[in-house]
Amino acid sequence: MNAALTLRERSEAEASRLPPLLARAEHLAGTVLLGDHGRRRAGLGDDFWQYRPAQIGDSRRLIDHRRSARGDQQFVREREWQIAQSVMLWIDQGASMRFASEKTLATKADRARLLGLSTAILLVRGGERVGLTGTTLPPRRGNAQIVRLAQAWSEDSDADYSPPEHRAMIPHARAVFISDFLGPMDEVELALTKAADRGVRGVLLQVLDPSEESFPYRGRTIFESVGGTTRHETLKAGDLRDRYLDRLARRKDALTYLCRATGWQLGLHHTVESPQSALLWLYRALDGGTQ
């Protein structure tokens, strides 16, 4: 009884945290207007496409009698081919994402979730099926899926750098990975090659804090990861700047190379920038693939 009550209470509290993210994501998604995008060819779907004369091999049930009764010929009513694409999202829930160098900035995790959820809303409105990579939340359509996604992303992971989830990817689906990609590279490599093997293509969006790009530190400093597992002490932080920037550039190069090899697209977003431009880029990147 008690456990159930507290669970209820906690879930209410958790649920009350969802709406702001949802509302912001809805608001952001509202800035990108969608049309229904049919496939512009006859196929399975709900909308009328054309009448064509019945041919041999057409089932009698397919004959549209209302149209056929106007003349002698028999017509078949064709519907537009509408097919739902499955899009799988993965957003880094690791501790390294929960970082913002200034109070006025959003954390990387917050920005990543906002972008992920907005993308999901756009996709659902477009009639696609959206889900998470892995087995927890397979792709489904409908608004309820948005709420499930938001709920899934409201849980933080304790690990410092969580590896991309690459299990249970549906062949020939599309995928969106949002992370800072500061963790071990071999995991990313593994995930992408596995995806490429299954014909899954998609988008990598790297979200970085401005301080990670500029490294504005000086003096004797101990750098700690957000989870506290890794640390590095230096006596003169200012001297490390050039070498750090060099390593960061190499990391980005490695990602670019990986994407080129697997046919994915790579985007970079800083938390100082407007989320809208990133969302537009994401949407274009996905849409460009589906055409």
Partner 1 sequence: MTVLAGIGFTAPWVLLGLLTLPILWLILRAVPPAPIRRLFPAVTLLLGLKDDESVSDRTPWWLLLLRMLAAAAIIIGLAGPVLNPSRDQTGTGPLLLVLDASWAGASRWGNVLDQIDAQLTEAGRAGRPVSILRLSEPEAPVFQAAEAWRGRLPGLTPQAWQPTEAQVAQSVQALTQVEGGFDTHWFSDRLDYPGHDQMLAMLQARGDVTVYRAASAVTALLPASYQDGVIQLTAVRAAPGPAADITVLAQGRDPAGTMRVLQSVDMQFESGETLAQIELALPSELRARITRFEIQGQRSAGAITLTDDSLRRREVALIAGTLNREGLELLSPLHYLTQVLSPTADFVDGGLLDVLPANPDVIVLADVATLAETEEAALVEWVEQGGLLLRFAGPRMAASDLGRDEEDILLPVRLRSGGRSVGGAMSWGEAKGLAPFPDSSPFFGLRIPADVNVTTQVMAQPDPDLADRVIASLSDGTPLVTRKALGLGQVVLFHVTADAEWSSLPLSGLFVEMLDRLAVASAAKSRQQEQLQGTTWEPIQILDGFGTLSDAGSLPGVDGAQLIGGEIGPDLRPGLYESGKEKLALNVLSEDAVLTPVVWPADVPIRGQEVSTETPIGGLLLSLALVLLTIDVLASLALSGRLGMARTAAVVLGALLIAPDARAQAPEDTDFALNATHELVLAHVLTGNREVDDIALAGMRGLAQTLYFRTSVEPAEPIGVDLERDELAFFPLLYWPITPDQPQPSVEAYAKLNTYLRSGGMILFDTRDADIAEFGASSPNGRKLQQLAAPLNIPSLEPVPNDHVLTRAFYLLQDFPGRYAGSGVWVESAPLDAEQIEGMPFRNLNDNVTPVVIGGNDWAGAWAVDRNGQALLPVGRGYAGERQRELANRFGVNLVMHVLTGNYKSDQVHVPALLDRLGQ
State in angstroms the smallest separation of the CB of 85 from partner 1.
Answer: 30
Q: Among residues 80 and 180, whose Cβ is nearest to partner 1?
A: 180
**Sole residue written with tokens 């506290």:** 228
Q: How far is the CB of 149 from partner 1 (least distance, A)?
A: 18
C-beta separation of 63 from 74 below 8 A: yes
CA distances from 26 to 34, 107, 118, 160, 282 (A): 13, 19, 6, 30, 16
Cβ proximity to partner 1: between 47 and 233 the closer is 233
- Please give the residue ranges that form the binding site for partner 1 (CB under 8 A): 16-17, 19-20, 23, 96-97, 99, 108, 161, 180, 182-184, 209, 211-212, 217-226, 230-240, 243-244, 247-248, 251
72: its two tokens: 């002698």
What dihedral angle (degrees, nearest 10) is formed by the CA atoms of 96, 99, 101, 106?
Answer: 140
Phi (first) and psi of residue 123, to 5 degrees = -65, -40
Closest CA to 105 of 191, 207, 198, 210: 210
Question: What ranges make up the beta strands (E) of 27-135?
Answer: 48-53, 75-79, 86-91, 129-132
Nearer to partner 1, 223 or 257 (CB): 223
Nearer to partner 1, 167 or 220 (CB): 220
Q: How far is the CB of 170 from partner 1 (least distance, A)?
A: 31
Task: In angstroms, give the least distance from the CB of 274 to partner 1.
Answer: 17
CA pair distance 199, 38, nearest whole angstrom: 23
In the complex with partner 1, which residue's Cβ is closer, 20 or 57?
20
Cβ–Cβ under 8 Å, residues 157 and 20: no
The span from the CA of 226 to the CA of 240, in Å, is 20
Nearer to partner 1, 36 or 102 (CB): 102
- Kindly tell me which of 57 and 228 has the beta carbon lying closer to partner 1: 228
Q: Cβ 283 to partner 1, closest distance in Å?
A: 22
At a CB cut-off of 8 Å and minimum separation 6, what does 117 contact?
A: 21, 22, 25, 146, 149, 150, 153
What three-state secondary structure class fits 119? helix
What does the alpha-carbon distance between residue 135 and residue 67 come to, in Å, rounded to a whole number?
Answer: 47
Beta carbon of residue 54, minimum distance to partner 1 (angstroms, whole number): 44
Shortest Å, Cβ 218 to partner 1: 4
In whole angstroms, give the CA distance from residue 90 to residue 179: 8
Nearer to partner 1 among residue 17 and residue 172 (C-beta): 17
